[in-house]
Chain A
Amino acid sequence: MRTRSLAKIAVVGIAGVLALSACSNSKTNNGGLAGNSSGGSSAPAGGGTYTIAFEGPLSGDNQQLGINEVNAAELAIKQANAKGDLGFTLKLLKADDVGDPSKAPAAAAQVLQDNTVMGVIGPSFSGATKAVGQTYGDAGLAMITPSASNGTLQTLGFKTFHRIIPNDNVEGTQGADWLARKGLKKVFVVDDQSDYGKGVADAVDKELKAKGVAVTRQGVDAKTTDYGAIAQSVKSSGAGALFYGGYDAQAALFAKALKAVNYTGITAGGNGVKSSVFTKGAGAAGNGWYFTCGCLDATIAANAKQFTTDYTAAYNTPPSTYSPEAFDATNALIQAIKDAKSKGSVTKATVLTAVNAIDYQGITTEVKFGSDGEPAGATTVSLYTQKNGQIVSVGLLKDQN
C-alpha cells in the first residue's frame, strides 16, 4: 500500500514537473517521459514526439473513405519514422467523426485535447469541415484536408484551412463541360442535400445551363432506401444523362433502381460516389457509371508506384480513392514540422506558418497553398468508370469527348 502511494506521488510529481517545464502535458500524451514534445533542451536524444491527427469517418456508412485516408496517413508517418532523419518521432491520433457534421465537434475536441498535435489531416468531409473549421482555426491548428471538396469552404474565413484537391466547382464545371460536349439536350441532376452533394450538383447544374443544356433538378433525402420514384422520374424525363451528387452507399441503391426501370442514358456521379462501397453495393447495375474526381488513380500513375506497392503490402489492399491525396497531405505536414524544427521551435503556430509557406512535391500534385488555403494550381480532374465491377481510369476529364 505504502509503496503504491509513493509511486503515485512520484508519478504525479514527475507529471507536474513536466507540465511546468513544457506546458504540454495532457491526458493523451502517452509518450510520457521520452515523448514530451516542446520541451526543447530537456528532451532526450529522440528529439520529442509530435502527433499528427487524422479526422474522418472511421465507422459508419462512409467509413471506407476514412479508412482509405487514415491508412495512407499512417503509412506516411511510419515511413517518416523509419527513415530516422527526422530528429523527432511522429505519432498518429485517429479521431472518428463518422463523416457527420454533428459528430465532428466531438472529434475535434478529442484532437485539441492533445497538446502534442501539430496538425490535422482532414476532416474528410465537407459538412464536417464546415462544422469544425472555426474550432481548428481558433486553436491555430493547421488542417489539410485530402478530400473535403465543397466549393465554399475556402470562403468561410477558417484561419488554418488547407486542401490539396480541386474543389467541387472545378470538378462540377469540368464534369458539366464533358456532359455538354456529348451533345445532350437535357440532363437530370440529383443531389443528396448534403454540403458536398449539393455543392457539386450545383456546379454541374450551373455550368450545364450556361452551356444551353436543359437541367431537371431534384433533391433526395440522404437516408432514403427507396429510389424507385426518383429513378422513374429520371427515366420519364427523357434526360440523356443523370448526374448524382452524393455518396457511394446511397448511389449504389440509386444505380440499382435506375437499372430496374431500364434507364439507358449516361449515369455519372462525383468523387463521393467513386469507391468500392459503390461497386459492391450496385453490382452489375453500377457498370457503365462514370465518376468525376479530382483524385489520382494510384494504381496507374507512374510516380505513385512505390506508394502503391508499400500501401498494398501494409494493408493487404490497393490504395483507393483519396489514399494518395492523404499520403501527400501527411507528408506535406511532416515536411512543415521539419521546416518549423529547422527554424527553431515546433509549435502549432510555427507549423501553421510552415504549412502556409510549403512547397512540397507529392505524388499527386505539387502541394502549395494560396492565401485562402486552396491548392495552387491543382485543377486536374479525372474521369473514371465502372467496368465489370471494377473502377477503372478513363483519363483526364478535359481530354474526353
Chain B
Amino acid sequence: MTDFLNYLILGLTRGSMYALIALGYTLVYGVLQLINFAHSEVFMSGAFGSYIVIHAVVGDGKSLPWWGVPFVFILGLGSGAITGAVIAWSLERVAYRPLRRRGAPKLAFLISAIGMSFFLSQLAGKMFNRFTNNQFPPYFQQNREILSIGGASLTVIQATLIVTAVVMMIFLDRLVSGTKLGRSIRGVAEDAPTAALMGINIDKTISRTFIIGGALGGAAGFLFGTAFAFSNIMGFLPGVKAFAAAVLGGIGNIRGAMIGGLLLGVVENLVPTAPWNGHAWIGIGWTDVVAFVVLVLVLVVRPSGILGERLGRAA
C-alpha cells in the first residue's frame, strides 16, 4: 500500500507536468487544427530562460533568507513563462503565420513545426551545452518531506509541482471559459471566418493563443528542471508524452488535456512498477511502451479521446 501511494505521488507529479505541456498542444490544435511539434522546445526554452535569470539573481543559491525561496521560485516560474511565451509567439510569427497567409496545406505546417523543433533544440545545445543533467542552484531543500500519507511521503517539490500545475490549469480553464479573450479564442476555434465577421481579430487571437500556451509550457519547463534536470533535448520525450496526453483526453479540449496528462503520468508510474515491492512484473524499462499501449487502447475504444474535442464550445 505504501509503495502504491509512493508511486501514485510520483505519477501525479510527472502527470501534472504532462498536463501543463499538453495544454499548449491542445490550445493550438483547438484553434488552428495544427499540431505544434515545436511546443516541446518551448518547454525546453522555459527551463533555460529561468536558469539564466535564477543564476543571475541568486548565484549558487546557498544563502537565501526564508522569503528568498518563494521569491526565487516565483521568479523562476515567471521567467520560464515569459521565455516560453516569447519563443511561442516568435514561432507563430516565423514558422506558421507566413504559411497561413499563403494558405499552405496542413502538411507544410507540420514540417515547419518539426523543423523549428530541431532548430531550437540544436540551437540551445550550441548556445548552452549538451549535458543532460543541468540543474538549478539548490536554493531550497526540495526533498524535505512535508506530509506522510499511509507511510508514503510527499516532498516539497512534489507538492509544489502538483499544486502549481493545478493552479495554472484552473486559471487557464477560467480564462478560456470566462473572459473576452477566451471567448474570441473559442470563436476562432469554432469557425474562424465567422469569428472574423463578428469583429474578432484572428491574427491577434492566434498570437495570444500561442502566448498563453507558450507561457504554460515555459513554466512547466522550469518546474520540470527544478524537479529533475534540464537539457537541450529535454523537450522531446515529455513533449511526445504530453501530445499523447492531449490526444488521450481529447485533443482541443482543455480539461481533457489535464485528465489525459495526469492519467498518463499515473499509469506509466504504476503499471511498470507493479506489484510495488521492488519486484516489478514488467519493469521500469517498459515505461514508455506501457504509456503508449494505454494510449492506443483508449483510442481504440474511444477515438475522440476521453472527453472528446470541444474547444469551440464553452469549456
- Residues on A lying within 8 angstroms of B by beta carbon are 59-61, 188, 193, 216, 218-221, 223-230, 232-239, 249-250, 252-253, 259-261, 277, 281, 283
Residue of B whose beta carbon sits closest to that of A225: B228
Which A residues are in CB contact (< 8 Å) with B228? 225-228, 253
Give complex CA distance A101, B283 in Å.
26
Bound CA span A8–B285, Å: 60
Distance in Å from the Cβ of B128 to the closest Cβ of chain A?
Answer: 13
Give B262-287 as 1s and 0s: 1 = Cβ < 8 Å from A's Cβ atoms.
00000001001100111110011101
* Residues 111 to 149 of chain B near chain A (Cβ within 8 Å): 130-133, 135, 138, 143
The reply to whether A61 and B131 form a contact with Cβ atoms under 8 Å apart is: yes
Contact B132 A221 (CB under 8 A): no
Tell me whether B233 is interfacial, beta carbon within 8 Å.
yes
A residues within 8 A CB of B7?
229, 232
> Nearest chain-A residue to B130 (Cβ)?
A60
With both chains docked as a complex, state the minimum distance between the C-beta of A190 and any C-beta of chain B, in angstroms.
9
Partner of A225, one of B13, B133, B273, B285: B133
Structural contact, B278 and A233, CB atoms closer than 8 A: yes
Residue contact A225 to B234, C-beta cutoff 8 Å: yes
Cα distance A197–B129 in the bound complex, in angstroms: 24
In the complex, which of the residues A216, A223, A249, A260 contacts B237, with contact meaning CB atoms closer than 8 Å?
A223
Q: Judge whether B278 and A229 touch: CB under 8 Å.
A: no
Residues of A near B14 (CB, < 8 A) are 226, 228
- B6 interfacial contact with A, CB 8 Å: yes
- State whether B13 touches A249 (Cβ < 8 A): no
Contact pick for A236, options B6, B231, B283, CB 8 Å:
B6
* A188 engages B278 (CB within 8 Å): yes
Does B10 belong to the interface (CB within 8 Å)? yes
Further contacts, 18 of them, CB under 8 A, given A224-B237, A226-B228, A259-B143: A59-B130, A60-B130, A61-B132, A218-B280, A218-B284, A218-B285, A220-B284, A225-B229, A228-B13, A228-B14, A229-B10, A229-B272, A232-B6, A232-B273, A233-B280, A236-B6, A253-B229, A260-B155
**What are the residues of chain A within 8 A of B237 when measuring CB–CB?**
223-224
Contact across chains for A249 and B133 when beta carbons are under 8 A apart:
yes
| Interface presence of B288 (CB below 8 A) | yes
Complex Cα gap A261–B10 (Å): 11
Residues in chain B within 8 A of chain A (CB atoms): 3, 6-7, 10, 13-14, 130-133, 135, 138, 143, 155, 224, 227-231, 233-234, 237, 269, 272-273, 276-280, 283-285, 287-288
Determine how close the nearest CB of chain B comes to the CB of A281; give it in whole angstroms.
Answer: 5
Q: A230 contacts B284, CB within 8 Å? A: yes
Contact A225 B132 (CB under 8 A): yes
A230 surroundings in chain B (CB, below 8 A): 284
Which chain B residue lies CB-closest to A247? Answer: B132
Could you say which of B10, B131, B135, B230 contacts A232, with CB atoms under 8 Å apart?
B10
Q: How long is the Cα–Cα vector from A261 to B288 in the complex, in angstroms?
A: 23
Q: Is the CB of A228 within 8 A of B130?
A: no
* Residue contact A216 to B10, C-beta cutoff 8 Å: no
- Residues on the A chain within 8 Å of B138, using CB: 283
Q: How far apart sit A259 and B143, CA to CA, in the bound complex (Å)?
A: 8
Contact flag A61-B130 (CB < 8 Å), given A221-B285, A236-B277, A237-B277: yes
Lowest 9 A-B CB distances belong to which pairs? A237-B278, A219-B285, A225-B228, A260-B143, A236-B278, A249-B133, A225-B229, A228-B10, A281-B133
B10 and A249 form a contact (CB under 8 A): no
User: Closest residue of chain B to A190, judged by CB?
Assistant: B284
Tell me whether A249 and B283 are in contact (CB under 8 A): no
Q: Which of A60, A229, A281 contacts B273 (CB 8 A)?
A: A229
The interface residues of chain A lying within 8 Å CB-to-CB of B143 are: 259-260
Centre residue among A59, A220, A232, A234 by max chain B CB count within 10 A: A232
Give Cα A76 to B171, complex, Å: 62
The answer to whether B276 touches A236, judged by C-beta atoms less than 8 angstroms apart, is yes
Can you show 30 pairs from A to B with CB atoms below 8 A apart? A59-B130, A61-B130, A61-B131, A61-B133, A216-B278, A219-B283, A221-B287, A223-B233, A223-B237, A224-B237, A225-B133, A225-B228, A225-B229, A226-B227, A228-B228, A229-B284, A229-B287, A233-B278, A233-B280, A233-B284, A237-B277, A237-B279, A238-B278, A239-B278, A249-B132, A250-B133, A252-B133, A253-B228, A253-B229, A259-B143
Of all chain B residues, which has the CB nearest A98? B130
Chain B contacts of A283 at CB under 8 A?
138
| Complex Cα–Cα for A376 and B224 (A) | 48
**Complex CA–CA separation, A276 to B228 (angstroms):** 19
For residue A225, which residues in chain B have a CB less than 8 angstroms away from its CB?
132-133, 224, 228-231, 234
Distance, CA A249 to CA B280, complexed state (A):
25
Within the complex, the shortest CB–CB distance from A202 to chain B, in Å, comes to 14
With a cutoff of 8 Å between Cβ atoms, the chain A residues found around residue B224 in the complex are 225
Q: How near does chain A come to B109, taking the closest CB pair, in angstroms?
A: 28
> In the complex, which residues of chain A have a beta carbon less than 8 angstroms from the beta carbon of B6?
232, 236, 261
Separation of A229 and B39 alpha carbons in the complex (Å)? 26
Residues in A with CB closer than 8 Å to B135 are 281
- Cα A93 to Cα B170 with chains together (Å): 58
What is the CB-to-nearest-CB distance from A297 to chain B, in angstroms, rounded to a whole number? 25
Residues from chain B with a CB closer than 8 A to the CB of A252 are: 133
Complex Cα–Cα for A234 and B3 (A): 11
CA distance A302 to B100 in the complex (A): 70
Which residues on B sit within 8 Å (CB–CB) of A250?
132-133
CB contacts (< 8 Å) of B279 on chain A: these are 216, 237
Provide the residues of chain B in CB contact with A229, threshold 8 Å: 7, 10, 269, 272-273, 284, 287
Report the nearest B residue to A64, measured CB to CB: B131
Say how far A94's CB is from chain B's closest CB, in angstroms: 17
CB proximity of B7 to chain A, nearest CB, Å? 6
Residues of B within 8 A of A220 (CB): 284-285
Minimal beta-carbon separation of B209 from chain A (angstroms): 29
* A221 interface neighbour in B133, B227, B288, Cβ under 8 Å: B288
On whether the beta carbons of A236 and B288 are closer than 8 Å, the reply is no
In the complex, residue of chain B having the shortest beta-carbon distance to the beta carbon of A231: B10
A223 and B132 contacting across the interface, CB-CB below 8 Å: yes
Nearest A residue (CB) for B155: A260
Query: Which chain B residue lies CB-closest to A260?
Result: B143
Closest CB-CB distance, B50 to chain A, in whole Å?
16
In the complex, chain B residues whose CB is within 8 Å of the CB of A193: 285
